Structure 1
Amino acid sequence: MGGIVAPGRARGDVRETPPWPRGSRPYALSFPPRPGETARRTLAKAPLPGSQHPLLARPSRHAPGVKSRAGGHMDASAVDAVIVGAGVAGLTAARALRRVGFSVAVLEARERVGGRTLSQSLGGEVVDLGGQWVGPQQRHVLRLADELGLRRFPQHHRGTKVLEVRGERRTYRGQVPSLPLLSLLDLQRVIWKLDGLAKRVPLERPGAAPRAAEWDALTLEEWKQRHVPTWGARAALDIATRAVFAAEPSELSFLHFLFYVHSNHGLMPLTTIEGGAQAERFTGGAQTLGLRMAGELGARVHLSTPVRAVLQDEGGVTVTADGDRAWRARYAVVAVPPALAERIDFGAALPPERRRAHADLPMGSVIKVVATYERPFWREAGFSGEAVSDTGPVRLCFDDCSADGHHPALVGFFLGETARQWTHRPPAERRRAALESFARFFGPQALRPTAVADLDWIAEPWSKGCYVGLPRPGALTAIGDALRAPFGRVHWAGTETALEGCGYLDGAVESGERAATELAARLSLPATSPSRVQVVTG
């Protein structure tokens, strides 16, 4: 197959007719700047053809207008950009490129879109078994949700909370846990200290932090042992770490921990509901983000299409999927977690720093369980539904009722080492253990659900875990800029690459917008113009 010709060249131009007059297409994309920055490029708001396609109100196997391999969809011979991965990041990039008239193909290994979001019907209501919450600081995903017409509602948090620590069940209200006074004072000092250190880590170059090498070689556990004297503050930090990262403190690079805190506006927004990252949920589930974008893109999204190779030459990129199906493009965006990108052949010239990113960013470990009930018995007893535990197996729990409260539910998380211990256990055994945890938190009524569903993200072959890829100690400084830096004609997206909202839906959207902006600028260059990024063949 031949390469793609540049915009304006008639021969071999296979792109669709743009939805604006010839010659008037915006040359690039831009999005609202980060605080302190200026806008980057021309804002393009041209509508997508078919952007009003109807969307299924509940999850389905395929997004509207999307054909799977079994459906007999014929591969496009050539496009401007191939996007690998139909999660939120990949779909955001594809949608943005289409809005300025470039042709795209989105290749997804799963039989569904949405990546690490998954919404399904349970007990008569849609529940989320993947990514779920958004907060007021997360401007990228909130703007996208508004564009797509998604509605949100507040996460319920009124009432008494439960803290299990050292085998003892404690209750409290508000944001101050029921710990000894010295532990509370120590915990507040630790929060202030960590927030201050986090601000010293530059988001665009964490390796330029004043003590980057030292902090990257240090685990959060080691830092805690040196700097947190009280048992209560240590326990609270452990609980928060598992809740936020789905990993153990001994597994986290201290430098990456600080970067993550900075990227998400501080420790308190990361760990709280009101005003924090867990403030709101989407009506119809978070997967609706991906479903709506896929509905706009229609048959440009190819499901059940695992990509095996992304190889480039001077003329473009050839992306090969299972069954020897191939797409030719001028550029590619790889929007899958680094741990999954390791399965893709990029050629011998892939830089060692990028290879290390694929090898040394293992995913977090989480199993999510949702149980529905006839009545919200915990609310009736004065509980908020929020519980945290250092005992487990459920380490974190929230009220998961519908917006109107008519479909009562609780959601719990097996996290870190606990999740790995339970990943090979029978689902029925996991669910029973989760219900027993709920019963310890809120009473024996929790043992009598109307329905239960769980999802072991560790066992998902196209995720290998959740929530996010986490650099091993020492990896972040070694990888450097390779997480985001283009490799010739290959660009990268995914929440792991985000500067804002890293690890969250917000980061996925931010990264997709960035990748689309990079590609739009390069795609707008005449075919004879030198590329601003060196093409590497391998």
Structure 2
Amino acid sequence: MKRCDILIIGGGLTGLMVKYLLRKASIKSILVEGRERLGGRIYTTLSDAKNPPLEMGATWWGPKHIQLKALLEKLDIPIFPQRLGQKAIYEPISTSPFQLVTLPEEDQPSFRISGGTSTLIRALASALPATEIDLGTHVTGIYETEDGLRVACKNGDYHARLVVSTLPPYLLKKSVNINPPLPEKLSGLMEQTHTWMGESIKFGLVYDRPFWREAHTSGTVFSNVGPVTELYDHSDFEDDRYALKGFMSSSFYTLTETERRTRILRQLRAYYGEVVDAYLTYREKAWAGDSFTYVPYSMPVFPHQNNGNTQYQKAWLNGKLLIAGSETAPQYPGYMEGAVQSAQWVAEFVETLSFDSFKFTKD
């Protein structure tokens, strides 16, 4: 059994940011992640001579996301605005043809991270000791002991004085056995907390030229008909590798990848013609099939339901368990900004403890 003062569960943005901040404060911790990669719902695929980075997870952020912006600046990570254009293809109903509409002038533009959102994950990870990050470590249980918590994993247990879970609350509730059980009020809240991106199906198509930028068309699409509900220009920062990135209705989760791609191309063909069939690469991610992010809800849950609830800003199991993560942040829950703010709350909480009777080992 490995022993540590603080164990962080989850290697997404919140988990890595918690570890990064604790290390800055010289407080030791270990991070465990069930996947064989870091990043969680930040997942950038490809990026080579022909293919731009394709975001299958978190992609955009805005000017109001000031903590994320400050972090990117501190890590010297370049950003660039999302290209929308002046027009968008709009498909309101199935019985009428699509329209080319004028987009309102943007007051709050969206931004992307140069090199892909995973650039942020790599930057945080590079500042951390690899010996304190355990990948492929699937947590199955959290059990209170006299002097801390025992965290059961499929490949060995850990003992920590404080545990920080950054799993989506619903996933934590459904996939990790906790004893003694959490209070009924909190447990019921977790049962009805939306997991952001859990139902999303994202896809990317790479092309050798940005034909959607030609006159009388657009790379921005909004459709009430589907199966593609939204589409955007997803070319890279240098604008020399071109792609479209979109969202597919979650109702198509049960189809195979080939079946989804066929339906996507059929819809895009109506907008752009046969040129869409000349794609170089196709990638997709149906997040409902990712067991480290999502498990099916036991009851209907609305988008953002109970995200940022005040119960998530408390310590549980006699002060030994913190439930963090983007869904728990009071501001911008579900977004990267929420993930960063949640990590900052955890770090501030731990710093307070370290100056009280609950002192931690320091580097």
Establish whether TM, by shorter chain, passes 0.5. Answer: yes
For each residue in 1:343-402, what CA deviation from the matched residue of structure 2 results, as whole angstroms up to 9, or x when unmatched?
112213411122113322243411111001111001023544111011000001101111
Does the CA-based 8 Å contact 1:388-1:396 persist in structure 2? yes
Partner of residue 274, structure 2: 444
Partner of residue 431, structure 1: 261
Q: 1:512 to 1:152 in 2, by over 3 A?
A: same
Partner of residue 347, structure 2: 516
Does the CA-based 8 Å contact 2:115-2:236 persist in structure 1? no
Q: What letter is aligned with 1:481? A: T
Alignment of 1:132 onto 2:59: yes
Instruction: Compare 164-173 and 86-95 and name the one that shifted more.
Output: 164-173
Q: C-alpha separation between the residues in 1 aligned to 2:310 and 2:111? A: 33
Partner of residue 118, structure 1: 43
TM-score norm. by structure 2 comes to: 0.88
Alignment of 1:372 onto 2:206: yes
For each residue in 1:74-104, what CA deviation from the matched residue of structure 2 results, as whole angstroms up to 9, or x when unmatched?
x7x3322100000001111111111111111
Alignment of 1:173 onto 2:102: yes
Q: 2:10 aligns with which of 68, 85, 102?
A: 85
Q: Percent identity?
A: 26
Q: 1:293 to 1:313 in 2, by over 3 A?
A: same
Partner of residue 79, structure 2: 152
Q: 2:108 aligns with which of 261, 271, 275?
A: 275
Partner of residue 456, structure 1: 286
Partner of residue 347, structure 1: 179
Gaps of 5+ in 2: none
Alignment of 1:163 onto 2:90: yes
Partner of residue 314, structure 2: 485
TM-score norm. by structure 1 comes to: 0.61
Does the CA-based 8 Å contact 1:457-1:465 persist in structure 2? no
Does the CA-based 8 Å contact 1:309-1:345 persist in structure 2? yes
Partner of residue 3, structure 1: none
User: Residue 159 of structure 1: CA displacement?
Assistant: 3.4
User: Residue 442 of structure 1: CA displacement?
Assistant: 3.2
User: Residue 332 of structure 1: CA displacement?
Assistant: 1.0
Does the CA-based 8 Å contact 2:309-2:328 persist in structure 1? no
Matches within 5 A, 1:51-90: 77-90=2-15
Q: What letter is aligned with 1:435? A: L
Matches within 5 A, 1:330-341: 330-341=161-172
Higher relative helix content: 1
Does the CA-based 8 Å contact 1:308-1:322 persist in structure 2? yes
User: Residue 480 of structure 1: CA displacement?
Assistant: 5.9
User: Residue 476 of structure 1: CA displacement?
Assistant: 4.3
Partner of residue 226, structure 2: 392
What is the Cα-based RMSD across aligned positions, in Å? 2.3
Does the CA-based 8 Å contact 1:373-1:451 persist in structure 2? yes
User: Residue 126 of structure 1: CA displacement?
Assistant: 1.6
Q: 1:334 to 1:124 in 2, by over 3 A?
A: same
Alignment of 1:306 onto 2:127: no
For each residue in 1:143-180, what CA deviation from the matched residue of structure 2 results, as whole angstroms up to 9, or x when unmatched?
1112222111111112321110112311112228xxxx
Partner of residue 239, structure 1: none
Does the CA-based 8 Å contact 1:112-1:303 persist in structure 2? yes
Q: What letter is aligned with 1:386? A: T
Secondary structure of the corresponding residue to residue 372 of structure 1 = strand
For each residue in 1:42-92, what CA deviation from the matched residue of structure 2 results, as whole angstroms up to 9, or x when unmatched?
xxxxxxxxxxxxxxxxxxxxxxxxxxxxxxxxx7x3322100000001111
Q: 1:87 to 1:527 in 2, by over 3 A?
A: closer
Gaps of 5+ in 1: 1-74, 177-272, 529-538
Does the CA-based 8 Å contact 1:357-1:483 persist in structure 2? no
| Paired positions, count | 345
Q: C-alpha separation between the residues in 1 aligned to 2:301 and 2:338? A: 16
Q: What letter is aligned with 1:275? A: Q
Following TM superposition, the consecutive aligned residue runs of length 4 or more in structure 1 with deviations greater than 4 angstroms are: 470-473
Q: 2:242 aligns with which of 400, 408, 413?
A: 408
Does the CA-based 8 Å contact 2:51-2:206 persist in structure 1? no
User: Residue 424 of structure 1: CA displacement?
Assistant: 2.0
Secondary structure of the corresponding residue to residue 395 of structure 1 = strand
Secondary structure of the corresponding residue to residue 27 of structure 2 = coil
User: Residue 472 of structure 1: CA displacement?
Assistant: 5.1
Does the CA-based 8 Å contact 2:194-2:306 persist in structure 1? no
Higher relative strand content: 2
User: Residue 502 of structure 1: CA displacement?
Assistant: 1.2
Alignment of 1:496 onto 2:327: yes
Q: C-alpha separation between the residues in 1 aligned to 2:103 and 2:342? A: 34
For each residue in 1:200-219, what CA deviation from the matched residue of structure 2 results, as whole angstroms up to 9, or x when unmatched?
xxxxxxxxxxxxxxxxxxxx
Q: C-alpha separation between the residues in 1 aligned to 2:149 and 2:284? A: 39
Q: C-alpha separation between the residues in 2 aligned to 1:151 and 1:476? A: 33
